[in-house]
């Protein structure tokens, strides 16, 4: 039994001591039954939030109005949520009303898919009122009850179905798939950030190709930011292992997609990574040296491009593969990774030549950068300054580099 269940069982035992019932619930029960890795454990109970805070010594209120309190046991956080029912989903995202209940089955009934609507008691016996274990055995993703109702409650569940299809390599039940196709447009009511989280997880599954086909078939893709601008054939044609690489590869194939990148509301770092990967793929289609490729890109960008070239026949060639492999091997051996690594600053140069700043400083740095990279100059401040004094002439706001 996983250690998190053993520790969490102390919460169930304490709840029982005070006259309440508690159960492990949701994804952790599914993954336990499937013998998959478990990262966190959730608990559901008939105890009200105030009771949970009263019973346990260390708690954190993270959503008391919705019944959720974090209980800390041995500094490990467990989400403990009161049995609840939900009603009214006018925005296709969240319930208009949450009501607490003392019935476990009523709580499980509101969940998305049968495989996620199982609970496990303190004896580690699974309670499965909606046939989750049977669906897992048959490798099918099926909603709890009417799929139209589940998707009208939270439209993101349709994208979650595609994500589970990618990770578990299950197929979606026909009635669930039909409901996805009928309600795909409701994804437009879901915050882009929530969709990106699901897409990011989807692309890390083993069954990405099948999940992408499902997104096209049900028209989910047609209602997702950025992806809606990609042709279905182009979308299905790529083979990638991350959302970032999907975007980068599609932007390389169609530069007109770049203005839509902001629609995904990604972090600046992620947008920079995507654009750098796109540029590197383009660079591979022009004459480039190993050193140019290695020095001009972070290791993550080099590995992104290597994966893309390896997996996609329309970008692949032995020369490109070998070039990237050599660049990845060379990268750690370079004396500097970037011009900012040079042990020199502009103030030193201005003081040396008794001059104001200007573009001439950049020219000096570029000359020093070239010398360090070709191995003729050590990246040491004293040695660099000696080289500058010997080989840089400054006059009237400009410089001239003299030969050895």
- What is the pLDDT averaged over residues 332-342? 91
- The pLDDT of residue 96: 56
- The pLDDT of residue 289: 87
Does residue 151 register a pLDDT over 90? yes
Do 78 and 42 touch, CB atoms closer than 8 A?
yes
pLDDT in tens, 282-305: 988 887 889 989 998 999 999 999
Give the pTM: 0.84
Residues in the chain: 404
pLDDT in tens, 111-148: 999 999 999 999 999 999 999 999 999 999 999 999 99
- The pLDDT of residue 66: 85
Return all residues near 109 (Cβ < 8 A) that are at least 6 apart: 85, 117, 130, 144, 145
Does residue 205 register a pLDDT over 80? yes
Distances (CA, A) of 66 to 41, 98, 101, 215: 18, 7, 12, 31
- The pLDDT of residue 94: 60
Taking the CB of residue 262, how many other CB atoms lie within 10 A of it? Answer: 11
Do 377 and 391 touch, CB atoms closer than 8 A?
no
Is the domain spanning 140-224 CATH 1.20.120.1750? The answer is no
Two tokens, residue 383? 């040695």
Two tokens, residue 245? 């690489």
- The pLDDT of residue 74: 92
pLDDT in tens, 369-404: 999 998 899 999 999 999 999 999 888 778 888 875
Two tokens, residue 214? 């499902």
Task: Give percent of the chain with pLDDT exceeding 90.
Answer: 81
All CATH 1.10.110.30 domain ranges of the chain, comma separated, are 140-224
- The pLDDT of residue 136: 98
Given the DSSP bridges, would you call strands 22-25 and 42-45 parallel, antiparallel or unpaired? antiparallel
3-138 belongs to which homologous superfamily? Answer: Beta Polymerase, domain 2 (3.30.460.10)
Q: Which CATH code fits 343-401?
A: 1.10.246
- The pLDDT of residue 125: 96
All CATH 3.30.460.10 domain ranges of the chain, comma separated, are 3-138
- What is the pLDDT averaged over residues 54-69? 91
Distances (CA, A) of 226 to 163, 263, 311, 388: 18, 6, 22, 49
Nearest-angstrom CA–CA distance, 397 and 377: 25
- What is the pLDDT averaged over residues 204-209? 96
Do 84 and 105 touch, CB atoms closer than 8 A?
no
Mean pLDDT over the full length of the chain: 92
- The pLDDT of residue 264: 97
- The pLDDT of residue 95: 56
pLDDT in tens, 74-120: 999 999 999 988 655 555 556 556 788 888 998 999 899 999 999 99
Beta bridge partners of 82: 45
All CATH 1.10.246 domain ranges of the chain, comma separated, are 343-401
pLDDT in tens, 36-49: 999 999 999 999 99
């Amino acid at each position: 039994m996983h250690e998190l269940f053993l520790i969490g069982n102390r919460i169930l035992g304490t709840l029982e001591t005070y006259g309440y019932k508690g159960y492990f619930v949701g994804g952790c029960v599914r993954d336990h039954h499937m013998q998959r890795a478990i990262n966190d454990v959730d608990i559901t109970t008939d105890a009200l939030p105030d009771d949970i805070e009263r019973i346990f010594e260390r708690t954190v209120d993270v959503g008391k109005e919705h019944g959720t309190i974090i209980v800390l046991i041995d500094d490990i956080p467990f989400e403990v949520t009161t049995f609840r029912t939900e009603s009214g989903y006018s925005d296709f995202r969240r319930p208009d009303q949450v009501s607490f209940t003392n019935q476990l089955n009523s709580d499980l009934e509101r969940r998305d898919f049968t495989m996620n609507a199982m609970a496990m008691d303190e004896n580690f016996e699974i309670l499965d009122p909606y046939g989750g274990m049977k669906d897992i055995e048959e490798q099918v993703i099926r909603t709890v009850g009417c799929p139209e109702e589940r998707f009208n409650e939270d439209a993101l569940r349709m994208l979650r179905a595609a994500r589970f299809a990618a990770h578990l390599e299950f197929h979606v039940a026909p009635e669930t798939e039909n409901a996805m196709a009928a309600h795909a447009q409701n994804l437009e009511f879901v915050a882009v950030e929530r969709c990106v989280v699901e897409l990011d997880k989807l692309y890390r599954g083993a069954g990405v190709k099948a999940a992408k086909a499902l997104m096209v078939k049900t028209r989910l893709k047609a209602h997702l930011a950025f992806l809606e601008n990609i042709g279905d054939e182009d979308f299905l044609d790529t083979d990638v292992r991350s959302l970032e690489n999907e975007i980068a590869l599609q932007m390389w194939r169609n530069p007109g997609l770049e203005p839509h990148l902001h629609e995904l509301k990604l972090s600046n770092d992620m947008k920079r990574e995507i654009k750098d990967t796109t540029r590197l793929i383009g660079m591979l289609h022009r004459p480039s040296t190993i050193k140019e490729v290695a020095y001009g890109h972070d290791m993550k960008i080099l590995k992104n491009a290597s994966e893309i070239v390896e997996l996609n026949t329309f970008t692949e060639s032995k020369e490109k593969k070998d070039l990237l492999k050599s660049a990845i091997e060379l990268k750690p051996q370079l004396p500097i990774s970037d011009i900012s690594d040079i042990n020199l600053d502009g103030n030193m140069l201005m003081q040396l030549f008794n001059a104001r700043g200007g573009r001439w400083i950049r020219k000096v740095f570029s000359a020093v950068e070239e010398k360090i990279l070709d191995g003729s100059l050590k990246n040491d401040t004293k040695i660099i300054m000696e080289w500058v004094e010997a080989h840089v002439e400054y006059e009237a706001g400009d410089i001239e580099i003299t030969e050895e």
